[in-house]
Amino acid sequence: MRHQTGCLHQPQQRFPALSACGPIAATYHVDCQNGSDSNDGLTPSTAWRTIDRANLPAYGPGDAIRLKRGCVWQGTGFKAKGNGSVAAPITLEDYGDPTLLRPVLGGVGAHEAAVLLEMCRTGLSATWN
């Protein structure tokens, strides 16, 4: 479900028979109002509902996790698993109506992180438009 293997058929100059094959990045959506954790999360209309569900996959290079504007999640914070790369980081973004408030991730108490990056070799990029 997470990654499909695909090939970019771009012949290299010195070795025209070679092509670059690898995983295709995925974009996941989380919507606290209309999502369902039984969905695949791959489109806004099939978004997950909870951060707990978003914590399950191990994300790969170029994957994006998009949180819907206007949503607030309390409790377990986002705990990224997996690794991006310098060229293709895992991104945490917002989506939806730009007039709504940015999404809010609240941890549990003073010592629970809202976003935890643990054992990640390369970065996770967070962007709020």
User: pLDDT truncated to tens, each residue of the chain (129 aa)?
Assistant: 444 434 444 444 444 444 455 568 999 999 999 999 999 999 999 999 999 999 999 999 999 999 999 999 987 788 878 888 888 888 889 999 999 999 988 766 655 555 555 444 444 455 444
pLDDT number for residue 56: 94
pTM above 0.85, yes or no: no
pLDDT number for residue 112: 58
Contact 51, 75 (CB under 8 A): yes
Relative to beta strand 72-74, strand 64-68 is unpaired
Query: pLDDT (tens digit, 9 = 90+) per residue, 72-109?
Result: 998 778 887 888 888 888 888 999 999 999 998 876 66
pLDDT number for residue 39: 98
Helices (H), 1-129: 51-54
pLDDT number for residue 107: 67
- Alpha-carbon Rg for the chain, nearest whole angstrom, is 16
Q: What is the DSSP string of 41-80?
A: -SSGGG-B--HHHHTSS-B-TT-EEEEETT-EEESS-EEE
CA angle 46, 43, 79 (to 5 degrees): 85
Which one-letter DSSP state was computed for residue 82?
A: B
pLDDT number for residue 24: 82
Give the pair of three-digit tokens for residue 114.
């809202």
The three-state secondary structure class of 116 is strand
Distance from C-alpha of 73 to C-alpha of 104, rounded to nearest angstrom: 6
pLDDT number for residue 80: 77
